[in-house]
Amino acid sequence: MFFDGYGYHGTSFEQIYRCYPASFIEKPQIESGDKIIMPPSALDRLASLHIDYPMLFELRNDAAERVSHCGVLEFIAEEGMIYMPYWMMENMLLQEGDIVKVKNVTLPKGTYVKLQPHTKDFLDISNPKAILETTLRNFSCLTTGDSIMVAYNNKKYYIDIIETKPDTAISIIETDCEVDFAPPLDYKEPEKPTAPLSAGKAAVAAEVIPAEDEPKFNPFSGTGRRLDGKPLNYQPPPVSSSGSKDQKPDVVNLQSSTASSSQSNARQSQGKLVFGSNANRTKETGKAKESKPEPPKEKEEPKFQPFSGKKYSLRG
């Protein structure tokens, strides 16, 4: 007989129920696991069938095409109704009073499961592995694509099941299962620090621009003055700071010395008054221009001759 969503047919257990959260029956403890509460009539039917224990069921929401798996905790629900953890109803997109199909299944024992927390806060727990092991003791099976809820320290942590082996749905009762963690959904890899471009460009510019050469010291670079107070016809060139131009003043000084000597000779030839000169010297200077005489030989000093003085007599 099949009436109003419940009844039995066939040789396996497959039934349709209306689902409600655990708060309707005042059983908050089922929120920490994956077990549901079924009516007593379901127990009578299951007892008459040769099914494998522990009892595991497939939950299907045909309207949203969602499938999950669960165990059973008690058979005390009203007929035609089942009570489920609220997080399980959220996974299957079920609302209060929606229709859900329940079917008994046999699942293989799990060997591997990969979990991914929703937030990084779960990894900040002092010992997340121990908390997870304690929570999974209340679970009988896991299904790929589900999100389970872990309650700890008055806070709820949601964890996605992204991979299970050897099948997409596994039993975790009395089995050794390897657990692996994926990075949390809100995890971001730290960015590598990079030097600002402006500082790099400034450093390159500092290397390219050479430092200005300091001006070198040039001795005897001042101006000369005449003793008679007359202005000089020659103006000294400006002193340059570059090393390549430092040699020019030497050439100019040579030219100036030559020019001054020629001017002095010219003044002497014109009969102007020059300190330390006379007419004879002027003539000699003129002759020196015409022909260069040989330099006079130095006079030899008389050699000392002993006993070469005069002879005097006491008699007179």
The answer on 71 and 48 residing in a single domain is yes
Output the pLDDT for position 216: 75
Helical residues (DSSP H) of the chain, grouped into ranges: 40-48, 86-91, 128-136, 197-208, 248-269, 279-290
DSSP state of 241: S
Residue 159 lies in a domain: yes
pLDDT in tens, 155-209: 888 999 999 999 999 999 988 888 888 888 877 777 776 655 555 554 544 555 5
Tokens 């400006």 appear where? 238
| pLDDT one-digit tens code per residue, 21-61 | 988 888 888 888 999 999 999 999 998 888 888 899 999 99
The DSSP bridge pattern shows strands 14-21 and 99-105 to be antiparallel
CATH number at residue 128: 3.10.330.10
Say how many domains are in the chain.
Answer: 2
Residue in the block written with tokens 């996605």: 160
Are residues 90 and 21 both part of a single domain? yes
Q: Which carries the bigger pLDDT value, residue 78 or residue 268? A: 78
Q: What is the dihedral of CA 84, 87, 91, 95, to 10 degrees?
A: 60
CATH number, domain containing residue 54: 2.40.40.50
Confidence category of residue 4, pLDDT binned at 50, 70, 90: very low
84 and 55 in a single domain? The answer is yes
What Cα–Cα distance (Å) separates residue 307 from each residue in 34, 93, 232? 150, 151, 62
- Cα 93 vs. chain centroid, distance in angstroms? 43
For the chain, percent of residues with pLDDT exceeding 90: 34
- Does residue 272 have a pLDDT over 50? no
Distances (CA, A) of 214 to 205, 211, 217, 246: 21, 9, 10, 13
User: Please, what is the average pLDDT of the chain?
Assistant: 76
Whole-Å CA distances, 298 to 62, 291, 294, 295, 301: 139, 21, 12, 9, 9
- Residue-range definition of the domain harbouring residue 61: 12-102
In a domain, 175, yes or no: yes
**Residue 172 has which token pair?**
């975790």
Per-residue confidence band for 3, with pLDDT thresholds at 50, 70 and 90: very low
pLDDT tens digit string along 221-263? 777 777 777 776 666 565 554 444 444 444 444 444 454 555 5
